[in-house]
Amino acid sequence: MTGKVLVILLALCAVSAGLSMYYLQVYGYYYEVEPRPGQDVTLVPQGGDRAEVIAYEGFQAIDADSSPIRYRACFTTPLDLDALSAAYTPVENPEPLTAPAWFECYDAGGIDEALKSGRARAYLGAKNVHYGVDRIVAVTEAGRGYAWHVLNNCGQKAYDGTVVGEECPARPEN
């Protein structure tokens, strides 16, 4: 009898732990980013270092303090792809990161398909928004825009333990 009770107790603990981990990964750490009109969507000009604001509206974003690459955003822009490509730094082979299903405006699979088919283009939104993390902004032909964070070369080295080298800035102390 005590064996059955222990097995049931162990199974309940395992299910409870699994549900808690799922909740924390999908819902628990995320928060909505408060829009800052005229500051939310930026792109880095070709040959430049400082990002500049582009025209946008309908901005929505989520982020989490638990990881620098959990940022996701959606917006619309009146700018066309040719004008953006002529002025801003393109990103080669971008890979949109997934977002929680409840953040409905952002579909990583759809964004990836649009990028691969040429219906969308990706640009560098900002360098080092956090140490070793860049913001990528993709815009579709229809004017829908999406943003996410990725590890840059310095971030990949810093987080995998490789010697960073002189080309990367010093990592800030926390």
128 in Cβ contact with 169 (< 8 Å): yes
pLDDT at 163: 66
pTM (predicted TM-score): 0.84
> 149 near 70, Cβ under 8 Å?
yes
User: Tokens at residue 158, please?
Assistant: 């810093």
Average pLDDT on 6-34 reads 85
Q: Which helix (H) or strand (E) holds 21?
A: helix 2-23
**pLDDT, position 115:** 97
Summarised one tens digit per residue, pLDDT across range 96-138 is 999 999 999 999 999 999 999 999 999 999 998 988 899 999 9
Once rounded to an integer, what is the mean pLDDT over residues 32-38?
Answer: 91
Please provide the average confidence, as pLDDT, over all residues in the chain.
Answer: 90
Asked if 114 contacts 95 with a C-beta cutoff of 8 angstroms, the reply is no
For residue 22, what pLDDT is reported? 80
Structure tokens at 106: 């952002």
Please tell me the distance from the alpha carbon of residue 156 to that of residue 150, in angstroms, as a whole number.
9
